[in-house]
Amino acid sequence: MKNKNITFFIGSLAGGGAERVVCNLANYLVERDNNVTVLTMSDIKDTYIVDKRVKRKYLLTKNERKNKIFDFFLRFKRLSHYMSSEKCDLYIVMLPITTIMMLLLRKKTKAKIIMSERADPASYSKIKQILIKKLSKKADGLVFQTEDAKSWYNLDNKKTIVIPNAINEEFLNLDFSNVKREKKIVSVGRLNNQKNFSLLIKAFSKLDEKFNDYNLIIYGEGTKRVELEEEIKNLNLDDRVFLPGYSKDIKKDIINASLFVMSSNFEGMPNALIEAMALGIPSISTDCPCGGPRYLIKNMKNGILIPVGDEVELIKQMTFLLTNEEEALKISDNAKQIVFDLNPEKIYGTWEKYIKSIIE
């Protein structure tokens, strides 16, 4: 497939799993001689880098902002103009607000529209759930990360497909010969309610005293930073729990960790967990909706699943992996096989084939 005009529409490229997928897929498609544009709601500085051949456009700049109502309607007006005037064969839209906006303007374009659900739709507010379920019928195609997410929409008559996230190429063909596990437990993600890092911090604080020489490092940034810092202080863990912010080289920062933990209340297809497994880090994750961790982890074989919000079970399984070197090593070796299942050429090749079928 080549010479197609494809526009991705998303809030920003400032961190996050959906944002990373947009960048990687845009780079893949432009490499195959397609004309690719990434349109974002605002000009927040990009965390992820797209190929120089990918055009970047914004609906609103930071200098134009006034208030939420004004900003929304100006963005909506400009999106309407973009869809009416741009020569486009296909739009790919991700995340609820941008998806709702684009599908409300469905009649503005003859181009095909693929919406891609990247999270657990049941976690959205009631009004978002009603809108996105109703408007999804206007999409020409729908891409889901898991069967659970697909079943929530109940669109038997739509052309739908389940495509998991691909692993980033930098996590392929790794050399583990010089990796020496350090006494640190790591996690990666936005500091928000979804990730429930409070659960992880509390569980860490209650580990047996024999693990007092371990540190917990959580990479990411978000609105819960101050609250989490206060919790760390109240638990007297200032010298053992660290929130360093976004990592510029997450592979380097976590590859030598003894344990990776994902404590989320819900997830789509978590890139952080995929990458931790590819690095061979023994991993524990909540078995959260809408099924992403369950897709990746075969319990007690290549990782460990625990119930959402279960502090007692988290403490138990952290203790198990930190005290059973042979089991941890087995899980580590099995986890590395994820790179074959989620090879980028395989996953983005599936995307390309699906896109072609929608356009044609």
Residue-range domain boundaries for the chain: 5-166+343-359, 170-341
56: left (phi over 0), alpha (psi -120 to 50) or beta: beta
* Strand order, beta sheet including 35-40: 55-58, 35-40, 5-10, 90-94, 112-117, 141-144, 160-162
Domain 170-341 matching CATH 3.40.50.2000: the answer reads yes
Neighbouring residues of 257: CB distance < 8 A, sequence distance ≥ 6: 181, 182, 184, 185, 186, 217, 276, 281
Whole-angstrom distance, CA of residue 140 vs CA of residue 252: 41
Beta strands in 238-329 (DSSP E): 241-245, 257-262, 283-286, 304-306
Q: Which two tokens stand for residue 149?
A: 């997410």
Q: Which residues contact 115 (CB under 8 A, 6 or more apart)?
A: 93, 94, 99, 102, 103, 136, 139, 141, 142, 143
Place of tokens 């959205």: 124
Cβ pair 118, 268 in contact under 8 A = yes
Map tokens 């209650």 to a residue.
206
- Per the CB < 8 A criterion, the answer to whether 286 and 273 are in contact is no
Strands 215-219 and 304-306: unpaired
Largest CA-CA distance found in the chain, in angstroms, rounded: 65
Question: Cβ atoms within 10 A of the Cβ of 281, count?
Answer: 27
Write out the two tokens for 360.
């044609």
For residue 99, which amino acid is it? T
Per-residue pLDDT of the chain (360 residues; tens, 9 = 90+): 889 999 999 999 987 788 989 999 999 999 999 999 999 999 988 888 899 999 999 999 999 999 999 999 999 999 999 999 999 999 999 999 999 999 999 999 999 999 999 989 999 999 999 999 999 999 999 999 999 999 999 887 678 999 999 998 889 888 888 889 999 999 999 999 999 999 999 999 999 999 999 999 999 999 999 999 999 999 999 999 999 999 989 999 999 999 999 999 999 899 999 999 999 999 999 999 999 999 999 999 999 999 999 999 999 999 999 999 999 999 999 999 999 999 999 999 999 999 999 998
Question: Given this model, what pLDDT does residue 181 score?
Answer: 93
Give yes or no for a cis peptide into 290 (omega within 30° of 0).
yes
Beta-carbon count within 10 A of 87 CB? 8
CA distances from 192 to 30, 188, 327 (A): 33, 12, 32
CATH topology of domain 5-166+343-359: Rossmann fold (3.40.50)
- Using an 8 Å Cβ cutoff, are 141 and 112 in contact? yes
Strand partners, 299: 303
DSSP notation for 142-180: EEESSHHHHHHH--TTS-EEE-PPPPPGGGSS---TT--
What is the predicted pLDDT for the residue at 16? 78
Instruction: Please give the DSSP secondary-structure letter assigned to residue 107.
Output: G
What does residue 129 show for φ and ψ, rounded to 5 degrees? -60, -45
Residues 45/11, Cβ–Cβ less than 8 Å: no
